[in-house]
Structure 1
Amino acid sequence: MKKIKLTRRPLRKFTLLYVEDSVLEQKKMLPVLNFYFPKIHVASNGKEGLEIFEKTEPDIVISDTKMPEMDGISMAKEIRKINKHVPIILFGNKSTDCLLEAIEAKVDRYLLKPVDIKKLHEILEETETKIFLEKARSYNTFLLHQYKQAIDSSNIVSKTDINGIITYVNDEFCKISGYSREELIGKNHNIVRHPDIPKEVYEKFWNTILSKKIWKGTVKNRAKDGSTFYVNTTVVPIVDSNGKIVEFVAIRYDVTESVKLQERLKRKEEDLEKLNRELERRVEEQTRKLRELNLTLEKRVIKEVEKNRQKDKLMFQQARLASLGEMIGNIAHQWRQPLMELGILLYNIKKRHDENTLDKKMMQTLYEKSNSIIERMSQTISDFQNFFKPNKKKESFNIEKVIKDSLTIVEGSLEKSGIEIKMDIEKNISIEGYSNEFSQVIVNIINNAKDVLNQKNPENKKIEISVKTKSEQTGNGKKDFVEIFIKDNGGGIDKKIIDKIFEPYFTTKHSKQGTGIGLYMSKMIIEQSMNGTLEARNHDDGAEFIIKLPLEYEKDGKLQKTA
């Protein structure tokens, strides 16, 4: 073998299996092969070479053709059963039969002996390129398999041919549609088409993808069981090297819950708009009723005072109008806080909707809170309506209930003034009389106390209400009474004027704040309409009003006990 100088780079990245039975040939070739390969496995026959191949999996196999036990061609055929791609180079004599057998064994190259080292070098370089390409192909195939697995595990994937016939679906597609692969492969993709989707939408879709453009959109589909699901879809046309469409790949992800949440949110917004319209209607209606009640109240005042002096007629009318003005102010106090709360809730709904953080549970909570506020505001109107409703006849009413209802009317202004209400009311006390007039007396006394507390502004402003039953011995025997005590810590009533506070038109307030009729009317209601007494006195740090009412009433000429 002619010696040549080796100047080209060696193949330092690959291992070699060299099979040669001749020790002499091994001594000639190994120095050359050692230059090219960092690791060489040597075998002396085909059987040994096959065993080494199975254990080491070399990158290249070089073998002589003629060897005992198993020749190189037989070994090549067995190797091909194990690995179809490993390069195999055979050294042999010029023989047609041998060459044909080598071709049949699918060897890569056949070099005649004696081997031309220069030619061998060229073949090894070609083989190196082939190995690199094969490894790159395997690696890319491995990566593509992982990409496919990643997409399949997190997305809903399908493929169709040019006519929309399904050729592939992944597990996620089967799961969301409810169909098995066998039911889907070979069927038109219309199998999951929802009948609500207009024909024009699909025409636009096909025009887009047939023009080799990517189509994106949210699609409404129908599953096997008839249920609806929504998917964000991207359809990509796949073209061959000639630019011809061969198939379509669709990648989707499930947005059913998001779409349904949007639909629920839209319905809730419509409900809120409807509630707002209803609230406006009810406010308008209740306002109209208040006006009607005001007219009724005025007529009633006129009718009552016709029996008395003209002066009393004017006094009662002014008092009612003044009371109505105070009640309208109380409505404003009662509504200011819930309107602010309702505005905040509506803002939170819009904000969470814009930030896409409005889940089903949060939406339900905000909706229930809004509805509760609206019902509370509606109840306020009803409370004020009942307050002004005229009583046509005496009736038995529960003291505790009327007092608490009266406090409901003024609680907004009391809270704004920072006034604490304390109550100690004996249970199940009922009396005979006019509940609305009695309620007006309670409200008038509470409002007077509130004004004094706001003016004097003591620390820890408070109003205390207590109700107790009492028995007294009179000339006609034992009688039962109920006493209502209303006291404040506003410093009390000036001794110079305490005897005048129940006189008509007497007031210590500014002319714009009071008429001086309220306490006079309250005394008339308690004493003339309900056969009781109303008095005022001072205690340690404030004023106290005492209402005393009988627990008996006259019917058919006989005294009856209040139930």
Structure 2
Amino acid sequence: MPSSDMLYFKLTVNSDLLVVDAEVFSEDFINTESLKKQKVSDILHVDYQSYIPLTLADMKKGDVFTDHLLCGRIGGKYYYLKMTAEYTGRGYVLSFSRSQYLKEPVVSSENENLSLVTENYLGAFYRTDRFGNLIYFSTKIKDMLGYTPSELIGGNLRRDYFLSSKSYDDIKNTMLQTGRLADIEVSLKHKDGYIVWLRVSSVAVYNDKGEYFGSAGYAKDVTEQKSNAEELSHIKNLLALKQKELDLVKTNFKYQIKPLATKGSEAEEATLYHARLSEMGEMVGGIAHQWRQPLSALMFIIEDIRDAYHFGELDVPYLDDSISDCMTYIRYMSDTMDDFRNFFRPEPEKELFNLTEKLIEVVKMQYGRFKIGAVNVDIKSDLSSLNGKNNVILHIEHSIGVKVFYDRPLIDGGVVIYGYPNLLKQVVINLINNSIDSITYKRSKGGLDVSEPGNILITLKVEEEEVSVIIEDNGTGIDEKTLELIFKSDYTTKPKSKGTGIGLHMAKSIIEKSLNGKIKAGNTDLGAVFTITLPRVSQTSK
């Protein structure tokens, strides 16, 4: 590379500004002979074609004029060169050498602005002239815009690369007013036609006379980060909309529960419908609570991404981890809604279903209530009558979350029931809600310490021809008088504002008539226990 004071070529120009002779001092300009008999303006970039000839015309004999300008195309390329012009009285001698303004900055304590740029934004170094033409770009730009540096040189930011000329004008005005740009995001046109986002930090460059001579700085590609930030913002808005929809559903359910007084079998169907709507209202409240934590977590992640971006800490691994966390929360919320929708879908016919899977689904659906009521839950298997092992299938720690343990014999279809799975889910939800209410009441009366969690244990006792679902809690238990009446219609121990007396009556009806099973209630040393016994079938029987 030639030094800054080494000549590239020299032109002899007559008074009409026509080139009459050319001397070449660099192999880079072997085609300079073709410039003879051309006007000086023809070898200059369009933005210099008026300015330079007028300046030369004002010169007197012996005057010397120096400027830095964009020449070209010479040999198919643009060159930003230092031009020294001397007027001889009959014409001009124009000497062209390398411009010192093309050097990448050497950072020192004397140039605080460029030091800041270099330390914080190691992207592609670039230089523009006073007109906004690109006069230098490091090789990194190929990965950003698709152009080679030589293809970019001579291009005008305002005319050729910015999507909006107004955006360029606003940024240039900021540069002229403040002398620098810091953390400015600009959108430019890629060679292949799409939009590229660059984060730019630069400083204004002035000549020895204090005149604005262009800018120098670094540009870093942030297209991927920008796209993902916009996607996360869209997800945030979408989740907020879904939350509003969920709140609206909850409000509407309050007005859907109306007395449905009919006779005979229609009365039982109406009562069942009433019960399911009541359960729906409870579940919507639980789902709203379940969504609150992941929504908060998503908002935190989005804010964290923005902060990381502003502090220069956002890279692809960081972004990938954040997106993975977001997708985990979104899948959890989606699964919750799927469970909710499946619970209330019509069941016109009986079907074979995996009891273990349905228990896991219904318990996971209630996590919001467990968290509010500070209740831990376990589902365990009891295979002792089959000479099998007893395993924990699911564990819920109310302050931590849900963990499902894979029990292959049970989860892979080992416990098959024939009936209506969603009706069974309704029964289990009713029993779980009763247990939570009992534990909450016991805690309010001092029977449980405020810091002591409630516990619900669901045991799946599997035998050759039947399976029992045993639900135990550490609540208040059931007194003897209540045990005799607990499955009667319209009997409830709850205040009228909180109980209808149809829950356990309908549970008994569903178990006996729809699932061909039995249900009974009792007490343990810790609290109440309900046992549901159902006939077990093979996957091929019906």
TM-score interval, normalised by the smaller of the two chains = 0.5 to 0.7
Say yes or no: does 1:441 pair with 2:398: no
1:454-477 Cα distance to aligned partner (Å, 9 max, x none): 111334421111112335xxxxxx
Q: Is the 8 A contact 1:157 1:250 kept in 2?
A: no
Structure 2 partner of 1:308 = 265
Say yes or no: does 1:267 pair with 2:231: no
Give TM-score, length-normalised by structure 2. Answer: 0.57
User: 1:69-468, aligned counterparts within 5 Å?
Assistant: 150=107, 175-176=139-140, 189-190=153-154, 195-197=160-162, 216=180, 232-239=201-208, 252-256=216-220, 260-261=221-222, 263-279=223-239, 307-308=264-265, 310=267, 312=268, 315-425=271-381, 427=410, 428-457=414-443, 458=448, 459-468=452-461
- Percent identity over the alignment is 28
In the alignment, the residues of structure 2 paired with residue 291 and residue 274 of structure 1 have an alpha-carbon distance, to the nearest angstrom, of: 26
1:38-59 Cα distance to aligned partner (Å, 9 max, x none): xxxxxxxxxxxxxxxxxxxxxx
Q: Is the 8 A contact 1:551 1:561 kept in 2?
A: no
In the alignment, the residues of structure 2 paired with residue 197 and residue 340 of structure 1 have an alpha-carbon distance, to the nearest angstrom, of: 38
Cα shift at 1:334 = 1.6
Q: Is the 8 A contact 2:483 2:521 kept in 1?
A: yes
Cα shift at 1:520 = 0.4
Say yes or no: does 1:508 pair with 2:506: no
Q: Which of 482, 503, 509 matches 1:524?
A: 509
Give TM-score, length-normalised by structure 1. Answer: 0.55
Q: Is the 8 A contact 2:141 2:149 kept in 1?
A: no
In the alignment, the residues of structure 2 paired with residue 184 and residue 387 of structure 1 have an alpha-carbon distance, to the nearest angstrom, of: 62
Greater relative contact order (CA < 8 Å, ≥ 6 in sequence)? 2
Secondary structure in 1 aligned to 2:216? strand
In the alignment, the residues of structure 2 paired with residue 325 and residue 165 of structure 1 have an alpha-carbon distance, to the nearest angstrom, of: 65
Secondary structure in 1 aligned to 2:470? strand
In the alignment, the residues of structure 2 paired with residue 385 and residue 371 of structure 1 have an alpha-carbon distance, to the nearest angstrom, of: 21
**Which amino acid in 2 is paired with 1:509?**
K
Which structure dedicates a bigger proportion of its chain to strand? 2
Secondary structure in 2 aligned to 1:515? coil
In the alignment, the residues of structure 2 paired with residue 213 and residue 533 of structure 1 have an alpha-carbon distance, to the nearest angstrom, of: 84
1:298-352 Cα distance to aligned partner (Å, 9 max, x none): 99x979x765274x46543432332222222222222222222233233333444
Distance 1:453 1:192, change over 3 A: same
Q: Which of 484, 495, 502 matches 1:499?
A: 484
**Which amino acid in 1 is paired with 2:161?**
D
Distance 1:346 1:158, change over 3 A: closer
Q: Is the 8 A contact 1:214 1:236 kept in 2?
A: no
Q: Is the 8 A contact 1:231 1:252 kept in 2?
A: no
In the alignment, the residues of structure 2 paired with residue 393 and residue 221 of structure 1 have an alpha-carbon distance, to the nearest angstrom, of: 60
Name which of structure 1's ranges 526-535 and 486-495 shifts more when overlaid on structure 2. 486-495
Distance 1:280 1:291, change over 3 A: same
Q: Return 5+ residue gaps in structure 1 as ranges.
A: 1-146, 472-479, 554-559
Distance 1:294 1:561, change over 3 A: farther
Distance 1:293 1:394, change over 3 A: farther
Q: Is the 8 A contact 1:157 1:252 kept in 2?
A: yes
1:143-200 Cα distance to aligned partner (Å, 9 max, x none): xxxx98556997758798999897xx8xxx555568xxxx999x99516869313796
Q: Is the 8 A contact 2:439 2:454 kept in 1?
A: yes
**Which amino acid in 2 is paired with 1:456?**
K
